[in-house]
């Protein structure tokens, strides 16, 4: 089994690039953010107060979260319901950023992620893949881009999906999530030891995935 770990802040292009690399290499793409989002959706539905870590600790053991692959796409299930199409809202993003800061939430989801990587060759993206989930991955990537470029990409993605989008608001949300994800105590987003940093500001997704495939093939 080969593991490729891709970490980086929101909107750096991780999922686009990870999917492409996985497709080209015949590996499974694992979007770990979707698991944190499904957990956050559960908390929102249950009315858990996300400013109270104790309430999150108590609630996080209850939901059953599964990843399944349907037509080559990752789907995330919450208590048997396919919630893949419900987890990309601003509300879920904010809730995921808060609930993912809690150690017990992370322990549950990290164990699931490690199990998937034991059984499959994976391209896994997230915030702590190279540092915590797969520290022995032979290829580790840290993808970055400026907050302006990341906001613009998210904005265009939303427009393309027919969603409403406000560039200023998206940029503010990205900065707030960076701050939360990089300064939390549990597994903050940092560049893993041995990770190759790729700044994607001036690169197309195709160029980035080709670069990563070169790194994999050089193993
Ligand atoms: O990658 P994303 O935007 O879908 O992630 C949603 C949130 O989940 C993000 O704010 C940080 C958190 N997350 C995390 O803490 N660790 C991961 N491996 C993946 C996501």
The answer on pLDDT for 164 being more than 90 is no
Mean pLDDT of 191-216: 97
* Pairwise CA distance, residues 153 & 71, whole Å: 26
The answer on pLDDT for 168 being more than 90 is yes
Helix axes 103-119, 32-46, angle to 10 degrees: 140
CA nearest 186: which of 118, 111, 131?
Answer: 131
Q: pLDDT class for 74, splitting at 50, 70, 90?
A: very high
Q: Whose CA is nearest to atom 11 of ligand 1?
A: 97
Atom of ligand 1 nearest to the CA of 14: 1
How far does the centroid of ligand 1 lie from the alpha carbon of residue 214, in Å? Answer: 26
How far does the centroid of ligand 1 lie from the alpha carbon of residue 160, in Å? Answer: 22
The pLDDT > 70 percentage for the chain reads: 100
77 pairs with which residues across the strands? 66, 82
φ and ψ at residue 199, rounded to 5 degrees: -90, 115
Atom of ligand 1 nearest to the CA of 125: 18
What pLDDT is stored for residue 95 in this prediction? 96
Question: Pairing between strand 122-126 and 28-31?
Answer: parallel
Mutation test of ligand 1: which of 35, 36, 105, 117 has the most ligand atoms closer than 8 Å to its C-beta?
Answer: 36
Mean pLDDT of 197-205: 96
The answer on pLDDT for 72 being more than 90 is no
Place of tokens 């996300």: 50
Mean pLDDT of 69-98: 95
| Spans of all domains in the chain | 3-217
Q: pLDDT class for 208, splitting at 50, 70, 90?
A: very high
CA nearest 7: which of 214, 216, 191, 211?
Answer: 191
How far does the centroid of ligand 1 lie from the alpha carbon of residue 33, in Å? Answer: 4
3-state secondary structure of 159: helix
Q: pLDDT class for 90, splitting at 50, 70, 90?
A: confident
3-state secondary structure of 77: strand
Distances (CA, A) of 86 to 17, 77, 78: 22, 11, 11
Give residue-wise pLDDT tens across range 137-161.
999 999 999 999 999 999 998 899 8
What pLDDT is stored for residue 147 in this prediction? 95
How far does the centroid of ligand 1 lie from the alpha carbon of residue 70, in Å? Answer: 22
Mean pLDDT of 106-114: 98
Mean pLDDT of 28-38: 97
Atom of ligand 1 nearest to the CA of 97: 10
CA nearest 180: which of 60, 31, 36, 61?
Answer: 36
What pLDDT is stored for residue 163 in this prediction? 85
Mutation test of ligand 1: which of 84, 126, 174 has the most ligand atoms closer than 8 Å to its C-beta?
Answer: 126
How far does the centroid of ligand 1 lie from the alpha carbon of residue 154, in Å? Answer: 15
Residues with CB under 6 A from ligand 1: 10, 32-33, 36-37, 96-97, 100, 126-128, 177, 181
Helix, strand, coil percentages in the chain from 3-state DSSP, rounded to 5:
50, 15, 30
Total residues found in the chain within this entry: 219
DSSP string, 43-57: HHHHT--TT-HHHHH
Q: What is the mean pLDDT of the chain?
A: 96
Edge-to-edge strands, sheet with 81-82: 65-70, 73-78, 81-82
Compute CA 28 distance to the chain's CA centroid, rounded to the nearest angstrom: 15
Provide the CATH topology of domain 3-217.
Rossmann fold (3.40.50)
68 pairs with which residues across the strands? 75
* Pairwise CA distance, residues 104 & 30, whole Å: 21
């Amino acid at each position: 089994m080969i593991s490729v770990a891709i970490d980086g802040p929101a909107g750096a292009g991780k999922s686009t690039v990870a999917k492409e690399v996985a497709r080209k290499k015949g590996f499974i793409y694992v979007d770990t953010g979707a698991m944190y989002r499904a957990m956050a959706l559960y908390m929102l539905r249950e009315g858990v107060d996300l400013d109270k870590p104790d309430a999150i600790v108590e609630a996080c053991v209850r939901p059953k979260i599964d990843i399944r692959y349907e037509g080559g796409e990752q789907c995330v299930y919450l208590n048997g319901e396919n919630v893949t199409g419900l987890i990309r809202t601003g509300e879920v993003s904010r809730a995921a950023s808060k609930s993912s800061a809690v150690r017990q939430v992370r322990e549950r989801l990290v164990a699931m992620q490690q199990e998937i990587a034991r059984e499959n060759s994976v391209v896994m993206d997230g915030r702590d893949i190279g540092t915590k989930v797969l520290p022995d991955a032979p290829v580790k990537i840290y993808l970055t881009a400026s907050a302006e470029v990341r906001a613009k990409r998210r904005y265009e993605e939303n427009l393309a999906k027919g969603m409403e989008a406000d560039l200023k608001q998206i940029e503010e949300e990205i900065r707030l999530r960076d701050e939360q994800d990089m300064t939390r105590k549990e597994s903050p987003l940092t560049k893993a030891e041995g990770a190759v940093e790729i700044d994607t500001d001036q690169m197309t997704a195709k160029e980035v995935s080709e670069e990563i495939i070169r790194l994999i093939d050089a193993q």
